[in-house]
Chain A
Amino acid sequence: MSLYALQKLLYELNRDPRVQHEFITDREAVLARFRLSEEEADAIRKDDIGMLYILGVNGQILMHFAAWRGLAWDEYIEAMKDALAKHGQVRGGIYAAVNGGGGGAV
């Protein structure tokens, strides 16, 4: 589990336009700088917001990333709900779902 590195990648991406540019032109080069598990790297490669949520990425970091990747609000919430149904509870961090991820303002 390298949640720290995964979150650091997203943190740097969220705040630095140069990293954003590199992410768009050469995503593998960005990935190469962080020691991620295959599962984590794959979730980044596929813009898999739901999986990143399950892996424990802090919701505030993930919300910004999802917006930058073009997910509308409802798509972002749905991505987390779908991943929760498919993979089960969040594996780390403080953003675990409660009540099975029910409710929400969609």
Chain B
Amino acid sequence: MSLVFAGIMSHGPGMRARADRADPAVRDPFFATLDRLRERLEEARPDAIMVVAAEHFANFFMNNMPAYCIGMAEDYEGPIEDPEWLRIPRRTIPGNPDLSRRIVGKVMERVDVAYAEEWKFDHGIMVPLSFLTPDFDLPVIPANINCQGPPLTPLSRAYEFGRAVREACDSVPERVALIGTGGISHWPATPNSGKINVKWDREFLRRWTSNDRAALTSYTDAETLRDAGQGGFEIRTLVAVAGACEGSSGEVWFCEPIPIFATSGFAAVMNLEQESAAKAA
């Protein structure tokens, strides 16, 4: 079939772990927006959801770090964190190894992606799923981009990875939804946790919604570190979703700083129907 949904959202553990400490005036409309995102996802009737995430040493370490990896397991367990800390109960989430295998094979035509038949989900995947598929019943195809252990894959390659993912999704009969998760600017897990560069976030999302490839991939890591913190390296996941939707533009549904979540709470979607309309014309 093809890609039937493409969006991005934040994944900070605080969205669950410390939800009660967030200012309700911002938190409630943010969570309402995530409900709307879930509804949009459900309307797309996906057979599987591919989550492009920036994992945090749940599976991969510097002894053998893939720049890109796609999961190919029967099922996945998560969260790896203390469930009481994250406030998401530990459970098993279904995969679809056959679909994963076909997608990995197709992506390999463009990108030398690693695959993994074992994978534990951390907050980077569990938090988004807890909002988008709260029953954890939709088969998941996890994808990871190394955003933690430099050297990191260049942004231009993250965009290419997204293009390869799109080609793969378009080559299978299943209906695939795509969600990219990561912070924009943030300094998580440091004494500065809660610092957010709102202006930078809004500018990044402007580039994302206009799907301006050159502008999206022009940030150097030194600039990102200076202006958006080490957490800003996670924009790779969001850039990949833009790559998967080349030719489409998007809409920002929400972006407001929520310091106790350590990031801006944000949600945005790409309007995929624009592409099919352009192709039909």
Contact = CB atoms under 8 A, between A and B. Distances in A.
Interface in B221-250: 225, 229-230, 233
Contact of B190 (A61, A67, A97): A97
A38 to B, nearest CB: 23
Contact of B195 (A7, A14, A58, A103): A103
Interface string B139-151: 0000000001110
Given A11-B61, A15-B58, A60-B56, A99 B192 contact: yes
Contacts of A14: 57-58, 80
B191 interface: yes
A105 B80 contact: no
B195 A67 contact: no
Contacts of B195: 98-99, 103-104
Contact of B230 (A11, A53, A95): A95
Contact of B189 (A8, A11, A63): A63
A4 B63 CA distance: 9
Contacts of A95: 189-190, 230
B61 A104 contact: no
Contacts of B58: 14-15
A88 interface: no
A77 interface: yes
Contacts, number: 94
A97 B80 contact: no
B230 A15 contact: no
A60 B58 CA distance: 9
B188 interface: yes
B62 interface: yes
Contacts of A104: 191-195, 259
Contact of A73 (B17, B61, B120): B17
Contact of A98 (B13, B62, B194, B229): B229
A106 to B, nearest CB: 8
A53 B188 CA distance: 13
16 contacts: A4-B62, A7-B62, A14-B58, A53-B190, A58-B149, A60-B189, A61-B57, A63-B188, A63-B189, A64-B56, A80-B191, A81-B191, A97-B192, A101-B192, A104-B195, A105-B194
Interface of B: 13, 17-18, 56-59, 61-63, 80-82, 85, 120, 148-150, 187-195, 225, 229-230, 233, 259-260, 262
